[in-house]
Structures are given as C-alpha cells and as structure tokens.
Structure 1
Amino acid sequence: MAEDSTTRPAPDGADQAGRPARGQARSRILDAARAMIREKGYSAMTVDDLCARAGVTKGAFFHHFKSKEDLGVAAAQDWSQMTGALFEQAPYHAPEDPLERVLAYIRFRRDLVAGPIPEFTCVVGTMAQEIHDSLPAVRDACRDSIFGHAETLEADIQAAIDKYGIRAPFDAKSLALHTQAVIQGGFILAKADQDPALAVQSVDHLEYYFKLLFGKEGKTWTPR
C-alpha cells in the first residue's frame, strides 16, 4: 500500500508537500548558484537549471531575486560572508610574528586547494572574469569581496614591513592585492589545463616570493 504523502513528515526546512520553506528557499538557491558558478560559470547557469538544482519553483526564485543579475550580486555577498567566517576562524592568525602570520595564511590557502577544481575555485573570481564589463553591479560586488578579503591581510603585511625594515616601491595594500592576483591566477591555470597542481604551484611561488622579499630564504628552497 502506498504511503500517504499528506501525513509523511516533511524534511527539515520543507513543508508537507516537500517544498522548501520560504526562508530555506533563498539559501538553497544561493547554495545551488555557488556550486553551479564554480562548475560551469555564471553565464552558462540558467534560472531554470538553477531552480531545478535548488529544488524550487521559478516563482520562489523571483520572490527572492528580481533577476539573475540580482542573484549574482547576492551570490557574491553570500560568498564574502561564508569565506569571511572561514578565514576569521582560521589558525593562521596564531603566530606572534606578523610575517609568520602572512606565511601561515599562504599555506592555509595552499591547503584549501584540494579535491576537484570546482571545489576549490573562487565564486567571485569566476564571475568577475566573465561579467566585468557587462554586469557592473555583479562586478562591483565581486570587487568588494576580493578587495575586502585582501584588506584583511594589510595590517599583518604592514607590521612585517615595519619589523623587517623592508624598503620597496610598494605598500601593504598593493602587496595584499598581489596575493589575490597570484591565487586567482592559479585558479585560472588549473581550469585551463584541468590540473589542480598548477594552482598549488602558484601558491608555492607566492610563499617563496614573500620569503625572498623579507630575507627569510636563501637561493634554494624546499617546500614544506
């Protein structure tokens, strides 16, 4: 005898018909968008495919987002909040020496390059490459995310510059942004050649660069 679906307990976050609750629908759409952008990019992601992936109706989508562009902005902001919490709690803040904190951050980023390419690449970096000229609102949200994260490194970099007496034609802000340029560039290489090792190598080079810059490494270097 078939089970009566009207009396079957609903899954967490769903009503008795199995539809996601209104508050859960937005989260499910954002989760699906994050996965799909990393898998195939923003442009290739359709609203229909997104709704199917999230298990919501198009009506639910347009209840929460005015357009796909509006979703792109929200996805960038959601990414910032999610990754911001991850980095805030990460162990690289522990060392007393500011340079060691920066190097620990770089190693932490290296450790995050694990699994299939879509699992470690950056949502906002991917979108920025695709829509930098066509969707200014999404581009600006991506910029805020990338530049905002770089800004969290500036204090430690400046403290390291001061401690080690580095004199160079750059400041902490530009060096913090350079870390993101290398990491994002590594993601692009990994995608282009379908080889995650290229992203790892890029981060290794970044660590070596910082050690050379601050006089912490000789002419030879053995990665950890």
Structure 2
Amino acid sequence: MNAQVLNSSKTRLLDAALTVIRTQGYAATTVDDICHAAGVTKGSFFHHFKSKDELALAAADHFSQMADGIFSNAPYQAASDPAQRVLGYIDFRAAMLARQIPEYTCLLGTMVQEAYMTHPAIREACDRHISAHAGEVAKDIAEAKRLYAPKAKWSPESLAFYTQAVLQGAFILAKAKQDSKVAAESVAHLRDHIETLLTPTTKTK
C-alpha cells in the first residue's frame, strides 16, 4: 500500500471520527462505527492507530487544525477595528448554528465532558486546544480593551474563556433540546454582553 493511499485512509478515519463522535458521543462510538463511516477496514484502522483513545488524540489535533483554518480565513478577520473582529467572531459562530447539531458542535467539548476523569491524555489534549483557541480570541479582545475599555478590571483572557463557556454551554442545551434555537439565543446574549463591555460610552466594570 503506497503512502498516498495510507494518508488517504488515515484522513478518512479522522474525518469520520469528527462526525461520529459529535453525533453519538465518545463512549458510545466504537472502532467499528468509525471504520464503517470512513469506509475502511479494521486492519487499516489498526495500521494507523493502536486504539480508539489514540485516534481520539489525533482527532483532537485534526479538528483543531481544521478549525484554525476556518477561523483564520473567516470574513471578520478583515475588519480593522478589533472590537468588530470580536463581534464578527461571535456572529460567525452564530451563523454556524444553521447547520445540523453534529456539524457545529465542538469535538473537544464533546470528548472532554465524557473523558475528563477517565482519560487524562484526552482531557489534556482538549484543554490544550480549547485554551489555544481562546488565546487567539483573547488577542483581539486585548486590542479592543486597550481602545475602548482600558480601565475595565476584567482581563482579555477571562473574557475569551467566557466566550468559550457560553458557546460550549449553548451546544449542550441544543443537544438536550434537539433544537438550535436555544443555542442561538444564548449566543445572541453573549454578543450583547461583549458589545456592552467594548462600547466606550458604557461604564467599565
């Protein structure tokens, strides 16, 4: 089997993991499920990964690289005003809610909810990637804070993590209710709150 075919089968397994785990959860997902979704044999799976846990670690990296590409090329990145980039980021996340639930929910959040006590390596990988994404959001928040809320006591890092907390919580509610409307409403409240924090005429906190 040549390198191109091997790389193709590995990518198919990783892409399948993103879909299957976000659809039915990490614990309920089996190697057979992923192989079936990827259209590869179990022999091919075990050529690339020793276990489902090893696949999960690779899938976390794969998901994060995919997300990095999407967000780094998103339209809001072109805004010159950092506050508009922050609000544009939230609008971009809100627009994703028009998709099916498994298509917009976070693989990292899905896995860490189940694995944080039982699979330390998976928890650490999810934490690393979620924190890295929040760190990118914090860069624009920090620039906007310097311009519009320099005396505010909150930190850009804490506000960036707050955005992720609301988004992950919104995903959980959407799953629970099987309806994206509740998630969209939560994200709208998030936008209103951050817009208030970054509006110069409002009282800083």
Q: TM-score range by the shorter chain?
A: over 0.9
Structure 1 unmatched ranges of 5 or more: 1-13, 219-224
Q: Partners of 1:214 and 1:54 in 2: how far apart?
A: 45
Query: What is the root-mean-square deviation in Å for CA atoms of aligned residues?
Result: 1.8
Structure (1 or 2) with the larger CA radius of gyration: 1
| Structure possessing the higher relative contact order (Cα contacts under 8 Å, 6 or more residues apart) | 2
Aligned to 1:182: 166
| Corresponding letter in the other structure for 2:170 | G
Structure 2 unmatched ranges of 5 or more: none
Q: Displacement of 1:216 after TM fit?
A: 6.4
Aligned to 1:11: none
Q: What SS class does the counterpart of residue 63 from structure 1 fall into?
A: helix
8 Å CA contact 1:131–1:139 kept in 2: the answer is: yes
- Give the length in aligned residue pairs: 201
Aligned to 2:62: 78
Q: What SS class does the counterpart of residue 44 from structure 2 fall into?
A: helix
Aligned to 1:200: 184
Return the TM-score normalized by structure 1.
0.85
| Corresponding letter in the other structure for 2:153 | P
| Corresponding letter in the other structure for 2:142 | Q
Q: Displacement of 1:202 after TM fit?
A: 1.1
Q: What SS class does the counterpart of residue 64 from structure 2 fall into?
A: helix
8 Å CA contact 1:117–1:196 kept in 2: the answer is: yes
CA 1:32/1:162 → structure 2, altered by over 3 Å: closer, same or farther?
A: same
Q: Displacement of 1:133 after TM fit?
A: 0.8
Aligned to 1:161: 145
Return the TM-score normalized by structure 2.
0.92
8 Å CA contact 2:20–2:33 kept in 1: the answer is: no
Q: Partners of 1:217 and 1:161 in 2: how far apart?
A: 13
Q: Displacement of 1:49 after TM fit?
A: 1.8
Please tell me whether residue 28 in structure 1 is matched to residue 12 in structure 2: yes
Q: Displacement of 1:213 after TM fit?
A: 1.5
Q: Displacement of 1:175 after TM fit?
A: 0.7
> Identity over the aligned pairs, expressed in percent?
48
Q: Partners of 1:73 and 1:141 in 2: how far apart?
A: 7
